């Protein structure tokens, strides 16, 4: 009679002991809180336009929509990476409570004020990236919002928490119930095909979520403040009956008028 090797207990443990989970990225630098404050008045649309002008075009995290219309956040990206399940590595069967040893629990212990949890989840409707309890904990640590190219669960209760969320929708499933597993945190992720690095800046509002690379954020602040300043001038002039071709965008004549107006405003 042929001996049959015992089937490993894939319900509760890894069957590949050479793989250490959760995977954790290296330490990273968060943006200066003053920079976060300076960006509070910048819309995602303006940030996207300025980044495009600077030659950085893959920044719009397409897909996730605001669960709370009117919400606006600016913060430092903390990344969470879901990966497809594979039974010889980690199974999702009966794992809801063993998830506490995964990247999903680990990343929440790193959250600081002004953080935005940014999640790679492949738009999978069968994976509830987080639910009521974890979102409650995230908010208690000072997190300002969540951007996920995936789904969350417990929506009737999560709605009462009033944490700004940009997600693809809602699901009854928990995080590792079906097709994905919380694999790594503080690592580069692809959120809706946009590369997000830990410490990048996320701006999200009703137009969607946009990434600003941390190292160029000061220049974005400078350019967006100037952009919004001349837009305010142009808006006022067009409300008074001014010509569109002159004031949006400013032509040479309009810019001369704007510079004179700005000088007058500073006096």
**DSSP labels for 48-65?**
HHHHHHTT----EE-S-E
Residue 39's pLDDT is 95
Question: Average pLDDT of 106-125?
Answer: 98
Residue 63's pLDDT is 97
Question: Would you say the C-alpha torsion 154, 111, 103, 56 has a positive or negative sign?
Answer: positive
Residue 4's pLDDT is 46
Contact at 8 Å (CB) between 67 and 167?
yes
pLDDT at residue 232 greater than cutoff 70: yes
CATH code of 23-212, in short, is 3.50.30.40
Angle at 193 between CA 173 and CA 214, to 5 degrees: 110
Sequence ranges of the chain with CATH classification 3.50.30.40: 23-212
Nearest-CA neighbor of 53 among 209, 244, 205, 226?
A: 226
d(CA 229, CA 203): 19
Residues ≥6 apart with Cβ < 8 Å to 65: 166, 167, 168, 208
Question: Average pLDDT of 7-30?
Answer: 71
Residues ≥6 apart with Cβ < 8 Å to 63: 123, 149, 168, 192
Max Cα-Cα span within the chain: 97
Residue 266's pLDDT is 84
Bridge partners (DSSP) of residue 196 are 189
pLDDT at residue 93 greater than cutoff 50: no
pLDDT at residue 151 greater than cutoff 90: yes
DSSP state of 265: H
Nearest-CA neighbor of 79 among 210, 233, 182, 226?
A: 182
pTM for the whole structure: 0.87
Query: pLDDT-derived band of residue 228, with 50, 70 and 90 as boundaries?
Result: confident
- Worst-scoring range by mean pLDDT, 68-77, 170-179, 184-193? 170-179
Q: Burial of 225 by CB count in 10 Å (0-12 exposed, 13-18 middle, 19+ buried)? A: middle
d(CA 81, CA 118): 9
């Amino acid at each position: 009679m042929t001996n049959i090797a015992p089937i490993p207990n894939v319900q509760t443990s890894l069957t590949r002991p050479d793989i250490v989970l959760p995977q954790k990225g290296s330490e990273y630098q968060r943006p200066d809180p003053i920079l976060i404050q300076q960006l509070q008045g910048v819309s995602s649309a303006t940030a996207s336009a300025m980044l495009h002008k600077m030659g950085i075009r893959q920044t719009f995290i397409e897909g996730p929509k605001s669960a709370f219309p009117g919400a606006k956040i600016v913060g430092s990206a903390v990344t969470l990476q879901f990966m497809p399940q594979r039974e010889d590595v980690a199974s999702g069967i009966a794992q809801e409570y063993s998830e506490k040893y995964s990247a999903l629990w680990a990343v929440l212990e790193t959250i600081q004020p002004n953080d935005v949890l940014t999640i790679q989840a492949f738009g999978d409707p069968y994976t509830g990236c987080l639910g009521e309890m974890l979102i409650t904990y995230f908010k208690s640590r000072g997190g300002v919002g969540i951007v996920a190219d995936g789904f969350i669960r417990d929506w009737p209760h999560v709605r009462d928490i009033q944490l700004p969320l940009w997600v693809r929708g809602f699901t009854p499933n928990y995080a590792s119930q079906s097709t994905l597993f919380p694999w790594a945190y503080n690592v580069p992720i692809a959120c809706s095909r946009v590369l997000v690095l830990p410490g990048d800046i996320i701006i999200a509002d009703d137009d969607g979520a946009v990434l600003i690379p941390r190292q160029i954020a000061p220049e974005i602040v400078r350019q967006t403040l100037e952009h919004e300043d001349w837009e305010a001038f142009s808006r006022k002039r067009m409300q008074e009956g001014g010509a569109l071709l002159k004031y949006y965008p400013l032509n040479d004549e309009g810019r001369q008028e704007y510079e004179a107006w700005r000088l007058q405003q500073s006096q």
